[in-house]
Structure 1
Amino acid sequence: MARLSAVLATTHHPFYLKATQLTPPEERMPQAAEWQQKVESYRETLTAADPDILVMVGADHFHQFFSDNYPTFLIGKQPRYDATFYNEEREFGIPPYLLEGHEDLSGYMLQGLLDRGFDFSVSHELKIDHSIICPIITTRPDADLPIVPIYTNIFAPPLPSPKRFWDLGRAIRSIIDEYPSDARIAAVGSGHLSLELGGPRQFGETGPDPVFDRKAIDWLASGDIDAILENVTHESMAGAGNATHGFMDLILMMGIAGPIEASYVDELDLFHTREMYMTWYPEGDPR
C-alpha cells in the first residue's frame, strides 16, 4: 500500500517570487529576506518526506470556472497540466509551467471518492492557477514530481460546509492509505487565513482579523477539529474577511493528516495578510 509521507498546509501569496527574487534587492519590501528564509525552511519539510507523488489541493480563481458553472469538488486526470494564466504572469511574475500528471492515482482517487459519497467532477483539460503553482514554487520549485490536482469551491456560493471539507480530507486519506502501490505520497494544499480582497480591510498592516488568524493557526497546529467545527461557519469566516473561506482548504488538509499535532508551524505577517506554513508527518517526523 502507498505511504502518506507528509501533509502540508500553506497560504498562497502570489507575489512571493516577485517580492523575493524578481525585484532588485534595493527595491524589495522590508520583509523579503525573512520571507524567503521562512519559505526555504518550510521547503525542507517536504524534501525530508521524500515523496514520489504530490496530491495538490487548491481552488480556481475564476480563471476557468465561474458562478454559472463552478464545480463543488473536481479532480484532474490527464498526463500533464499547463500553468500559468496570463494575468498571473503579468501581475505576479509567475512563470509558465508544464506539470506531469499521475493518471493512475487520479483515476483511483476519483472512484474512491465516488464510492465514499463525494460526487466529484473530473477534468481532462484542467489548467493550473496560482493556488497550486504558488505551493509548487515554495515547496518544490523544480516541479519534478507528478501531481494529482484537486480543486474545491471556496468562492462561488452556495459553498460546502467546513465539516464537508474535513470529511473530504478524511476520505482522501483513506484512499491514499489503500492505494495499491509502494509510492510515497505527500499532500500539499493551500488556502487562506483571514483575507479581504477588494474590501475596506484589504490594505492593513496584517490580515483583517488577527484574532481569527491566531485561533485558526492554533486549532490547525493542535489538530483540534472540534474547536474548528464549533467556531468556524460561513458567517464567521465572512466576518473575518470577505475571502476567508479559503480556510476551508486548510481544514481539508488537516483532515488528510488527521486530528494530530503538526510537526512544523511557522508564520509571517505581511502587508494585508498573514502567511502560514504547517506540516504534519502521519508516519513520524523524518527529520
Structure 2
Amino acid sequence: MARITAGIGSSHIPLLGVASDFDKTGEDYWRDCFAGYDWTKGWVAQQRPDVVILVYNDHASAFDMRIIPTFAIGCGERFRPADEGWGPRAVPDVIGHPDLAWHIAQCLVLDEFDMTIINEMDVDHGLTVPLSMMFGKPDAWPCRIIPLAVNVVTYPPPTGNRCWLLGEAIARAVESFPEDINVQIWGTGGMSHQLQGPRAGLINKAWDNRFLDDLSADPQRLRRIPHIEYLRETGSEGIEMVMWLIMRGALGPDVRQLHRHYHVPASNTAVGHIVLEKLT
C-alpha cells in the first residue's frame, strides 16, 4: 500500500523564489537563510519520495473573490507556474498524480470533507517556492506533486483542528491506495508576518519557536489555537500556519524531528522550516 513517511513544514516567501531564480542565494543577506535548507535537500534526495502532497495557499492566482474554496485538491496531469504580475517563474511545470489525487478526493468526500476538485489551475509561489527550497533548480521536479490549496486569505479560514482532522483523513486515504509508493506531505506558509498596516513587519520569534517546538512536543495544543491568537501574535498573514497542521495531522501521534531551521529576516518575514519523520 501507499504510505506517508514524513512531513515537511516550510515558509513559502516569494522573495525566496526570486533569490533562487536570480542566483542570489550566496549573497550575504540570503546565505544563512538558504543554508538552513541544505540538510533537507540531501535528505529528500536520499528519501526519493514518489509523491509529495503539497499544502499551500493560492495568492489570487488561481482563485479570487469570485470563488473561494476552503479546501481544493489538484487532480490534473500538469500544473503550470502562475504569472503573478511579473511573468511566470522559470521553474518546471508540476506533474501531478491523478490516480492518487482522485483516490484521495473520493475518500475525503466520503469521509465528509467537502473538497473542491480542480483539474486545471496555475500554481503560484505558495507551491513553487517550497519545491525550489527542497529540490534546488532541476530541469524537472524529481517527483509527482498533488497540490492541496487552503483558503487562508479571505475570512473565514478553517480552524487548526479542522486542518488537523483533514490531515488524518488524508493519511487514511493514502494508506488505502493499493500502489506501493512513498508519499510525503508538506505544509507551507508562515511564519509570523504582517504585510500591511501599522503592524507591518511584525515578527514574533518566541511564538514561532514554540509552534515549532510543539509540532513534536505538544501538537494537541496547536489544534486549539484560535484565529484571534494567530492574528494578535503572528500578524494578519500568520494564519497560514494552520496549513502546517494538515501535514502534522497526517503523520499520526508519534514523530521524530529530523531537522529544524528558523531565520529572520527574509524580506519582512520570519522563515521557518522543519522535517518530521512519521514513527507509527
Give distance in 2, aligned partners of 1:215 and 1:264: 15
Q: Which residue does 1:159 correspond to in 2?
A: 157
Q: Which residue does 1:248 correspond to in 2?
A: 242
Q: Which residue does 1:237 correspond to in 2?
A: 230
User: Residues 56-71 of structure 1: matches in 2 within 5 Å?
Assistant: 56-71=54-69
How many equivalent pairs are there? 274
TM value normalised by structure 1? 0.88
For 1:118, which of 89, 113, 119 is the aligned residue? 113
Give distance in 1, aligned partners of 2:179 and 2:101: 13
Question: What are the superposed Cα offsets for residues 102-127 of structure 1, whole Å, 9 maximum, x if unpaired?
Answer: 11001100001011110101111111
1:172/1:17 CA distance change after superposition, 3 Å: same
- Code of the residue aligned with 1:239 in structure 2: it is R
Give distance in 1, aligned partners of 2:46 and 2:65: 40
Could you tell me which runs of 5 or more consecutive residues in structure 2 were left unpaired when the two chains were aligned: none
Q: Is the aligned partner of 1:278 residue 2:274?
A: yes
User: Residues 87-106 of structure 1: matches in 2 within 5 Å?
Assistant: 87=85, 89=87, 94-106=89-101
Question: What are the superposed Cα offsets for residues 198-240 of structure 1, whole Å, 9 maximum, x if unpaired?
Answer: 223333xxx5222321221111242x2222134x111011112
TM value normalised by structure 2? 0.90
Following superposition, the deviation at residue 256 of structure 1 comes to 1.3
Give distance in 2, aligned partners of 1:219 and 1:43: 24
Give distance in 1, aligned partners of 2:23 and 2:96: 32
1:117/1:200 CA distance change after superposition, 3 Å: same
User: Residues 1-287 of structure 1: matches in 2 within 5 Å?
Assistant: 1-19=1-19, 22=22, 28=27, 30-87=28-85, 89=87, 94-141=89-136, 142=138, 143-203=141-201, 207-222=202-217, 224-230=218-224, 232-240=225-233, 241-259=235-253, 260-271=255-266, 272-283=268-279
Contact preservation (8 Å) 1:195, 1:208: yes
Percent identity over the alignment is 23
Give distance in 1, aligned partners of 2:87 and 2:38: 22
1:34/1:161 CA distance change after superposition, 3 Å: same
Question: What are the superposed Cα offsets for residues 24-51 of structure 1, whole Å, 9 maximum, x if unpaired?
Answer: 689x4x3322222212222223223221
Contact preservation (8 Å) 1:57, 1:190: yes
Following superposition, the deviation at residue 283 of structure 1 comes to 4.8
1:196/1:24 CA distance change after superposition, 3 Å: closer
Following superposition, the deviation at residue 5 of structure 1 comes to 2.5
Following superposition, the deviation at residue 21 of structure 1 comes to 6.1
1:25/1:4 CA distance change after superposition, 3 Å: closer
Contact preservation (8 Å) 1:80, 1:100: yes
Could you tell me which runs of 5 or more consecutive residues in structure 1 were left unpaired when the two chains were aligned: none
Give distance in 1, aligned partners of 2:74 and 2:90: 21
1:125/1:96 CA distance change after superposition, 3 Å: same
1:210/1:36 CA distance change after superposition, 3 Å: closer
- Code of the residue aligned with 2:236 in structure 1: it is N
